[in-house]
Structure formats: structure tokens, C-alpha cells
Structure 1
Amino acid sequence: MWRSAADQRAYDDARRRVRALRGFYMHAMLYVAVNAILIAVNLLTAPPRPWAGAPMAGWGMALAAHGILVWSRVGLLGRRWEERKIAEYMARDQVRTLSTEKQLVEAQMRLLQAQIEPHFLFNTLANVVSLIEPAPRKATLMLEHFIAYLRASLAASRATQGTVAQEATLLRDYLALIKIRMGDRLQYLIDVDPALNPVPLAPMLLQPVVENAIRHGLEPKIEGGRLTVRLARRGHRMLATIEDDGMGFRPSAGAGVGLSNLRDRLAVLYDGEAQVRIEERSPGTAVLIDIPLPRQAGTGDAA
């Protein structure tokens, strides 16, 4: 299970405290068991043998010292205990709140994912119809890509978790459709580190950014341009870069809301550990999304 650095430190500290408590309890149980055996031996034999009294007394004092050390370290004495319990209750409330927010965001995203924009749907079908007579092979190819895109979108709309490979497939089908419509005005490249293919990724996380780049950056440009989507590992993080050499970033209502929703979604999904930034380039714009990798996927050298 993925944890942030702060969560991991808290988890490791709690684990050390639990281990210390477990060690003390095992020590105490062993002491009680040995005492019980010695008492039984003394009761069953005559005359009683007090030879174990001194060692057991010494052991009892050592156990008491062990208990004091453990309980003081764990923090169950005085003000430290109160503060720790208060923090524990507050953390539980925060976890419940975050869980509710995450469920709400996921429900909203599933609703958005299930809705294909009418503008895109109607334009694609109109293009297919217009190509049937003059270019039937091109119309067939466009329809095939459209069906593949719809299938991938439907699967994403029903899933709460996807993978990098699934997102890349969705982007390829989407851009193949746009390529048929724009022709030579659109050139694109999707470059994904193969090691990242099985990495978990929220469904349709990158597709809205790519759509914004096409709609606001490349389509308005008479000669079109080039779009590059690159996903690479950077240590224990993944950097997704969506770059175009189009008209530049002019946040319209749709683009601004889309990026705002992306930031909100990332903040909930990755507990504030993900970052989004926009870089103006000459020409064009790049959107960079920096996401922490799950612990099991974050091992190894940086790419």
C-alpha cells in the first residue's frame, strides 16, 4: 500500500512502539509463568524451598525497570499520553474526512468519465459520414479508432483505478482519431517508460490535459503542430509531460476549470504529494504532472 514519506515515518514510529510493548508483555508473561511454576513446586514439595526467592525478586525489579522504560518511551504517562490520545482521535477524524472526500471525488470523476462530450462525439460521427463516399478506407479506420476509444472510455468510467498502460492506450486511440480529422496538421508522440506500464494511475487523468492541448493549442493554429506526451520515472516519482508547440496557454473557461479539477483530483488521490505546473515555451506550452510512485514501483534507480 502506498504511503507518503510523513505517513511512513509515523507508521515506523508506531511500529517501534508496538514492538516495545509486545516485548514487555512477553517478558511479563514469562515472569508470571516461571513464578507460577516455582510456587507449584514449593507447594508440592516438603519442606518448601525458598531458594528461588532472591533470583525472582531480582528478576521482578528488572521487569519493573523494563516496564518503566517501555511505558515512558511509548508515551503513556502524563501529558505525553494525553497529547498522543488527542492526536490519535484527531487523526481518525481526519482519515474519515479524507475518505469521504476521496469517495466524493471518485464518484464525480466516474460521472464525468461516463459522459462523452457531445461536441467531440458529433464531430467524429460527422467526419465518418463525410468520408464514407470519397474515402471509405479512411472512414473505416476512423470508425475503428472511435470504437476503440469508446470502449476504453467506458472501461475507465467503470474503474476506480487503472494503469499507465491503459491511459496510454486511451490517448493513442484519441490522438489517432484527431489525426484522421486534422491530417498532416497534427504530429504526435507518446513516449512511456515500459517499466511504468503496470503502475497504478487514476483513469482518464491525462486525457483532459491532452484534449486541452489539442483544442486550445493546436487546432486554432493554421499549420497545426506537434504534441508530445512523455511519462518518465524520476527517482521515486513519475513525471508526465504534455507538451505542444501550438498557440500557447490561454486559459479559457473550459481549460481553466479542467486544470483546476485536475489539481483538486490529484490533491485528494495523492494526499497533496502530487504537483501540477504549466510552463510557457517558445513556441507552445507544457503541462507537467509530478506524481509519487507506489512504494513497490518506486524502487530502483532513476530513469
Structure 2
Amino acid sequence: MANTGLRLHCISLNGCLPYGAGTGMLSRVRQHFPRLSMTHSFFPRDQWFWRFHAVAVIAIVIITLLTFQFWGELSLTNVISSLIWCLPYSAAVLGFRYLFLTRDWQQLAMAKLVSLSIAYGSLTAVLVVVSVALFSSLMLWIGPAGHDPSAASAGLSLRMLTGGALQAQLFICIWIFIYISVTSARRIKDTELRNLRLQNTLKEAQLSSLSNQLNPHFLFNALNNIRFMMHENTRNADEMVLALSEILRYSLASSHRDKVGLQEELNIIERYLALMKIQMEERLQLRISVSTSLYPCLLPPMILQMLIENAIKHGIEQIPEGGLLSLHANEQADSLIFTISNDLPAGYSNDKPAATLGIGLENIRKRITLLYGSKAVLSVHVQETPPEKPAFAVLLQIPKEIRQ
């Protein structure tokens, strides 16, 4: 009968163990299993581990006793064996967990780990069965019912040691393989998270590096313009300093955000154009066409400002009489399309756009690629109609995103 009790232990626990009770329960175990660290204790400190373990043991004992009640004989021997069995079983599985963590068994090849697990399960199964038999026999010798030789001899019978050991080995190995699968899945998940964090950190570093290249480029140009204006008109120079401070404040605030609202970007563009208008006066003509319905849309900060700056520096400033700078925005399907164009000197050939890209446009292309991948487009072309007024145009297309 003791042999039957051990068999029921193994079968019922295999069906009731919380770790294998379904995908939902398995995910909970993954979340609450002890984290791997440099030092490990024999007894896990994670309370969820003990809760699941306690539920498993209690379920096994209850099911085993109910099985004895309805299909066997609910004897004192089986009751004692069912209760005593919990201790050596817990020691065996905790021992494997401790060795698995401290000996770095997770680094072993799968074939070697499986062989090692089976060997451990075989050895500890014999120890579990022997310890249960000895404790059961001892309790029957000193219990209130007095000495029961038949029960004692049954507890130490060869049949119990062999059959019970095989069943205990099966159960311990099942627990071990579930534990290995859970910890391996968690380790893989942690590795993926670390890789994602590293990729995001690299992406943020690249974006920060590109932004840091853009901001000084604009700053140096603005300071040079103010320096020249100070010798011509101090009032205008004062207004330029005020506009520049607002632009720098916006640049610093937006450097911590990947995207800003279109309205914010347009406000700072207005400040920049006001600054340039003071310097260039009537040489700079503006045409801005952006629907207010697009104001909630998001885009990378300072990108439109840099495109405007690039158009003025490489286009309008090179024309003695000045020219027209235009900004047009519209939406198409799930995309926002911005077109920034500027007049060019007469006789400008179509093979020169590449020479005017410079670090500004190249950095913008890298930034939108990091943020949007292949969904973003930055292209340039020369409009040669009419021939007497060629225009250089930059087209920026990004996915449409609305501020929530």
C-alpha cells in the first residue's frame, strides 16, 4: 500500500503542479521566479516561489488521500507517508535549484544538462523513497497504535524501494525539466530585453549626436549674424538676441524629446524667420502654407527649422537681390509631406543639388531614418520652370502621428 501511495504522489503531482497548469500560470511563474545573481541561497527568498510550491504540495496530499479513500485503503501508513513525503521532496527539488544556480549548469550544453538532470533525479529519488520509508516505519514503531511489524516490513520492502524510486525519479525529473524551461525562457527574455535596451541606448546616442551637430551649426550662424548687425543697428541686434534666446530655449527643451507638435516647430520657425528678416530685410520673401488642422501632428524637433536655415544659407543669401522662400505642408494618406523651396541664381544647373546637401540635410536624413526607418523620405530636386527663376526644393515625408 505504501508503494501505491508513492505512485499516486508522482501521478497526481504531475497533473496538479502549478508550474505546468497552463500558459497563464506559467507566465506568472516566469515573472516571480528568483532572479539569477552572483550569490544564491538554498531557500529562495521569492514568496511567490513558496506560494506555488505550497499549493502544489497541498494539492498532492489532498488528491492522494482522496484517491486512497475512494479506490484504496486510507490507512495510517499512507497518511503518514503522504505527509512525510513533502519534506524530502522539497529538499530534493531545492537542491537541484541551488546546484543549477551556483554551478552554472545553465551554461552547459543541452545534452549534458539532460544527462546530469536524469542522474540527479535518479539519485535523489532513491534518497526520497528511503527517507520516507524510514520515517514511516519509525512513526509506526513509536506511535499510539504500538509496534506494527507488517507495516514496518512493508515500508522497507524491495518493491517499495524499486517501484517508488522509479515513480519519484519520474516526478523529480518532470519538476527539473519544468524548472529548466522556465528559467531558460526567463533568461532568454532578459537577454532580449538587455539587447533592446542596448539598441535603444545606441539609437538615443546617435540621435543625440546628430542633434548636437545641428544645434551648434545654427548657433554659430546666428551669432555671426548678430555680430554684423551690432555695427549697423543695435535695436535690431537686441531683437535678434531675444529671438535667438527663445530658439535656444526651445532647442534645449526639445532635445529631450524625439518628437514635438507641428505648431511648436512653426512657432520657433517664425522666431527664426523674424531674426533673419531683420538681417536680410526685403531680400527675404516668405510664403508659408500650413493648415491649422495639421498643428497637432508630431515631427522631430528642429528639422523644419534646419531645412529653412539651409534654404536661406545656400539659396536666398547667395542671390544679391534676394528671393522667395516657401514652406508648404499637406497630408497624403497616412503621411505628412513638407516641401521647402527657395529661389536660386539664374543659370543654376541641375547637377548641383548634391553639392548643397551639406552636413545639415545629411544629418536630417539619418535622424528620420533612425526614427521612422523606410517610412520616411528626404529628397531634393531643382525646379527649372521658369528658366529665369530656378528653385531648389526639399521634400520631407514622414508618417502622420497625432498628439494624444
Question: Where does residue 284 of structure 1 map in the other structure?
Answer: 391
Superposed, 1:1-303 pairs within 5 Å as 95=196, 98-115=199-216, 116-132=218-234, 136=235, 138-156=236-254, 158-163=255-260, 164-247=262-345, 250-251=352-353, 255-281=357-383, 282=385, 283-294=390-401, 297=402
Letter in 2 for 1:271: G
Identity of aligned residues (%): 30
Question: Where does residue 14 of structure 1 map in the other structure?
Answer: none
Query: Are the counterparts in 2 of residues 161 and 200 from structure 1 also a CA contact under 8 Å?
Result: no
Shift of 1:261: 1.6
Distance 1:153 1:267, change over 3 A: same
Give CA deviations for 1:265-297 in whole Å, capped at 9, x if unaligned.
Answer: 111111321111112113111111110023xx3
2:230 & 2:295 partners in 1: Cα distance? 32
Distance 1:195 1:102, change over 3 A: farther
Give CA deviations for 1:116-157 in whole Å, capped at 9, x if unaligned.
Answer: 43243122232134202xxx4x4444343333333333333x
1:117 & 1:251 partners in 2: Cα distance? 24
1:198 & 1:111 partners in 2: Cα distance? 26
Letter in 2 for 1:266: I
Distance 1:126 1:106, change over 3 A: same
Shift of 1:106: 2.2
Letter in 1 for 2:256: A
Shift of 1:221: 1.0
1:268 & 1:159 partners in 2: Cα distance? 16
1:241 & 1:151 partners in 2: Cα distance? 26
Distance 1:98 1:274, change over 3 A: farther
Question: Where does residue 12 of structure 1 map in the other structure?
Answer: none
Distance 1:93 1:143, change over 3 A: closer
Higher RCO, 1 or 2 (CA under 8 Å, sep at least 6)?
1
Q: Flag structure 1 segments of 5+ consecutive residues without an equivalent.
A: 1-20, 23-39, 46-87
SS in 1 for 2:393: strand
1:265 & 1:107 partners in 2: Cα distance? 9
2:191 & 2:269 partners in 1: Cα distance? 42
TM-score by length of 2: 0.47
2:376 & 2:266 partners in 1: Cα distance? 19
Shift of 1:114: 4.7
Question: Where does residue 138 of structure 2 map in the other structure?
Answer: none
Q: CA RMSD in A?
A: 4.1
2:396 & 2:67 partners in 1: Cα distance? 73
2:219 & 2:259 partners in 1: Cα distance? 21
TM-score by length of 1: 0.60
Distance 1:246 1:254, change over 3 A: closer
Letter in 2 for 1:256: G
Q: Flag structure 2 segments of 5+ consecutive residues without an equivalent.
A: 1-22, 25-64, 71-188
SS in 1 for 2:303: coil
Query: Are the counterparts in 1 of residues 316 and 344 from structure 2 also a CA contact under 8 Å?
Result: yes
Letter in 2 for 1:160: R
Determine which structure has the larger helix proportion and give its number: 2
Shift of 1:190: 2.6
Distance 1:91 1:223, change over 3 A: farther
1:208 & 1:154 partners in 2: Cα distance? 15
Distance 1:91 1:119, change over 3 A: same
